[in-house]
A = this chain, B = another copy of it.
C-alpha cells in the first residue's frame, strides 16, 4: 500500500476501502469522454460517502497543498473532470442516496452520486418527473449534471438542469459547508449562489447535496418525422415553428451523415437519402394530435419532402432511440472511416439564436469543405443548439490539424452568429480559449475574482473553465 502523510490522513478519515491508489484505477479516473484535452494521473482516488468525509478530503488536501478534482460518472464532453498530475480525485459515486421525495412540494433531495435515470425512475413512482435528460442520463450523475448544467432533448420545452435546482449543499475550499437556496417554489433571499455553483464544473466547491424541483408526470405525447432535401430547409422549418408560437416537446435534427451512421450501426429504416431529418413531438395529451398536425403543416410549408407521424408508442420510441444512437453510431462511423480503426470524433457543441440555425448549418457545411474534413451535424434544433461532429484520423497529424481548424472555425462562426461557444457540454479544458473570447477581458476578470473569492489557493479543479 502506497504511503504518504496525505494518504494516511485520507485513510484515517475515510477508511482504506475508500482511498484507492491502484495504478489501473488511477488510470481509469484520469479523464472524462472529451477529446483533445490533456489529462494527468492522480495521486489517489477517494470515494467519500458523506458530506463529513468530503470535508475531510478537502481539508486534508488543503493541508498538504494538493489540488482536488471532483468527478461523477466521467461522462462529460469538455474535460472538466480530467485529473491533473498528483491530484486527489474526489469521486462522488459512493454518495448515491435519494434522501427525500415530496410529491406535494414537488421536490427531491439527493446526494450528488445518484444517477439521473435512477432519480427519474424513483420520482416517476410518485407520479412526478425530473425532466433534464442529457444523452448520458442512464449513467451520468445528478452531481455531474448540476456541475455542468447539463441539457438534453427535453430542454426545448422544459429547460436545462439549472431550472430544476432549488438548493445545494457545497463543501468550499476552506472545508466549510455552505447551504444555498431553498426548498420553496420561490425565494429571493440573498445572492443566487445556487446558480453560481450550477455549471461551475467543480471549480468553486464540491456539491454534496442537491434539492431539485419536479414536475407532474408528462402527458401523453405523439411523435413525427419530417424529411428535408437540405439542412437549410430544416433550419427554416425550426425558425417557422418558433415564429408560429408552437411549443414542441422535442425538436431534434439529424443530418445525412448521422442518418447513414445510425442506419449502418443499427438498421431502422431511416431515410438515408434525406439531407436532414427533423424529429418533433407534442406532449399536450388530448391535444397532441392537433399540435402535431400544426408542426407537420409548418414543416411542409418549409419544404419538407415527407412528413409522417409515428403510428404508435412503439414506433415513437424507436425514433427516439434512433436519435439517442446518434452518438455511438457516429463514433463507430468515425472509427471505421480510417484504416486500423484509428478514426475518431471531435464532438463540438455550439448554440445560436434559433433564427440563425439555418445559417449555422450552411456555415458548418462550408467549413467541412474548406477544411476538408467530414462533419456530421446532430442536435437540439429547437434550441439552436447543435453538435457538429468532426471526423478525424487520429494516426494522421494532418487530419487532426484539419479537425482542430474546423473546430475553431465552427466556434468562430457560432460567436459571429450571436451564439455561444457551448450550449450544454460546458467549458472544462476544451473551450477555455473560446470562453475568454466570448466573455471578453472584463468577463474573464470577474470570473477570476469570483474564483479567488471562493478558492483563493486555486485548489479546486485547477485549470478548468478559466
Contact = CB atoms under 8 A, between A and B. Distances in A.
Interface of A: 102-107, 127-128, 148-149, 151, 155-156, 159-160, 162-163, 172, 176-180, 182-193, 195-196, 198-200, 204, 216-217, 239, 242-243, 245-247, 284-287, 351-356, 380, 382-385, 418-427, 431, 434-435, 438-440, 442-443, 445-447, 449-450, 452-454, 465
B427 A189 contact: yes
A426 B188 contact: yes
Q: Which 5 A-B pairs have the closest CB atoms?
A: A216-B245, A105-B353, A104-B355, A453-B453, A449-B453
Contact of A184 (B384, B442, B447): B384
A177 B216 contact: no
Contacts of A421: 189
A442 B172 contact: yes
16 contacts: A179-B442, A182-B351, A183-B418, A184-B351, A184-B418, A184-B420, A185-B353, A186-B380, A188-B427, A189-B439, A190-B439, A196-B196, A217-B245, A284-B284, A449-B454, A450-B453
Contacts of A285: 287
A173 to B, nearest CB: 11
B155 A186 contact: yes
A254 B103 CA distance: 25
A102 B355 contact: yes
Contacts of A107: 353
A418 B438 CA distance: 40
A250 to B, nearest CB: 14
B188 A149 contact: yes
Given A179-B440, A453-B453, 7 more contacts: A149-B192, A155-B185, A159-B163, A160-B186, A179-B439, A182-B419, A188-B425
A179 B355 CA distance: 22
A107 to B, nearest CB: 7
A247 B245 CA distance: 20
A19 to B, nearest CB: 27
A178 B351 CA distance: 21
B180 A443 contact: yes
A423 B243 contact: no
Contacts of A177: 442
A104 B236 CA distance: 10
Contacts of A353: 102, 104-105, 107, 183-185
B195 A443 contact: no
A198 B187 CA distance: 12
B383 A351 contact: no
Contacts of A438: 189-190
A190 B427 contact: yes
A385 B192 contact: no
Most buried by B among A198, A204, A450: A450
A187 B286 contact: no
A150 to B, nearest CB: 8
A389 to B, nearest CB: 18
A405 to B, nearest CB: 21
Contact of A104 (B180, B182, B243): B243
B183 A443 contact: no
A9 B245 CA distance: 49
Nearest to A190: B435
A30 to B, nearest CB: 23
B443 A185 contact: no
